[in-house]
Amino acid sequence: MGKRSFGGFSLAVSFVALYIFWILNSGRIELLYLSMGVICSFVIAYVFHEIFIPIKEPKAAFRTAIRFLLYIPWLFYQIVLANLDVAKRVLHPAMPIQPHIITFPSKLKSDLSMTTLGNSITLTPGTITVDIDPDGTFYVHCIAKEPAEALLSEVPCEMAARVGYVFGELEGWKKK
**What Å distances lie between residue 13 and 46, 124, 165, 169, CA to CA?**
11, 28, 21, 22
Contacts of 168 (CB under 8 A, 6+ apart): 60, 63, 64
For 40-95, write each residue's pLDDT tens digit: 999 998 887 776 666 566 677 778 878 988 999 999 999 999 999 999 998 988 88
Given CA atoms 97, 101, 105, 111 in this order, what sign does their dihedral have? Answer: positive
Residue 29: pLDDT band by 50, 70, 90 thresholds?
confident
Q: What are phi and psi of 60, to 5 degrees?
A: -65, -40
Per-residue pLDDT for 5 more than 70? Answer: no
Residue 2: predicted pLDDT:
40
Q: Is the pTM of this model over 0.95?
A: no
Q: Where are the domains of the chain?
A: 7-52, 67-166
For 82-131, write each residue's pLDDT tens digit: 999 999 998 988 888 889 899 988 889 888 899 999 999 999 999 999 99
Per-residue pLDDT for 3 more than 50? Answer: no
